[in-house]
């Protein structure tokens, strides 16, 4: 066999050895990009247990971590104002001087986001314009202390509200939610005309992943 033939045989054997080594050891590729969700996870609203005590847990409108850890090593960001729609729906009441309502925050975006456990700070003013002031009142662990909620696209969180009203109470204009340094205006559905709030009478429950039991009596 000539020297040239020997060299070709050596190259062919080396290539076959390299292919065999790759087939045994394999190559590591990250296929998580573009598919961050575990395949077994069902769509809907996922709930994660609250880490704080019964009356702890800061308001979602305050300073919160920008992400929330999840199983699988990836993180879901806290909901931003542009991802949310706020609405306030009046509920039936047994008294003309007591208003019952439910506040909803819905994910209008195409990505999951997190609502930290607690309350959504409310504001009024400006006749629905940009100038709002915080509404004074009480915060209760109703119907429970609250929990961190992962909102899937299109999913909604709920909170019960109640306040006193009378013809003598001043009109404070539109409602809004304070969220990460911005006011998120809330669309309001009244049952029979605007129901103004008497100062200091608001009672607010925690955000919940389901409307069940959030209503006040």
Count CA atoms within 13 Å of residue 100 on its CB side. Answer: 10
Q: Is the pTM of this model over 0.75?
A: no
Cα separation of 55 and 141, whole Å?
7
Q: 107 forms bridges with which residues in the sheet?
A: 84
Cα separation of 151 and 47, whole Å?
8
Q: pLDDT 10s digit of each residue in the chain, 217 long?
A: 544 445 444 444 444 443 434 333 333 222 222 223 333 333 344 444 333 222 233 455 544 444 455 544 568 999 999 999 999 999 999 999 999 999 999 999 999 999 999 999 999 986 545 689 999 999 999 999 999 999 999 999 999 999 999 989 988 788 999 998 899 999 999 998 889 999 999 999 999 999 999 999 9
pLDDT at residue 61, rounded to an integer: 57
Do 106 and 82 touch, CB atoms closer than 8 A?
A: no
Helix (H) or strand (E) holding 23: helix 3-25
Cα separation of 203 and 196, whole Å?
14
Residues 6+ apart with CB under 8 A from 207: 60, 105, 115, 117, 118, 119, 120, 146, 149, 157, 158, 159
């Amino acid at each position: 066999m000539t020297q040239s033939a020997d060299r070709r045989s050596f190259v062919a054997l080396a290539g076959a050895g390299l292919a065999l080594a790759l087939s045994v050891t394999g190559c590591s590729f990250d296929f998580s990009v573009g598919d961050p969700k575990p395949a077994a996870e069902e769509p809907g609203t996922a709930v994660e247990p609250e880490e704080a005590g019964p009356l702890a847990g800061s308001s979602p409108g305050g300073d919160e971590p920008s992400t929330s850890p999840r199983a699988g090593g990836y993180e879901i960001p806290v909901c931003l104002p542009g991802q949310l729609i706020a609405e306030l729906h009046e509920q039936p009441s047994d008294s003309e001087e007591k208003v019952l309502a439910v506040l909803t925050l819905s994910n209008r975006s195409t990505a999951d986001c997190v609502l930290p456990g607690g309350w959504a700070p409310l504001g009024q003013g400006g006749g629905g314009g940009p100038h709002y002031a915080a509404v004074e009142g009480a915060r209760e662990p109703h119907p429970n202390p609250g929990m961190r909620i992962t909102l899937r696209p299109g999913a909604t969180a709920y909170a019960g509200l109640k306040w006193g009203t009378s013809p003598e109470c001043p009109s404070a204009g539109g409602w809004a939610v304070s969220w990460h340094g911005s006011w998120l205006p809330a669309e309001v559905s009244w049952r029979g005309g605007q129901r103004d709030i008497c100062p200091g009478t608001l009672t607010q429950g925690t955000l919940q992943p389901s409307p069940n039991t959030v209503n006040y009596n």
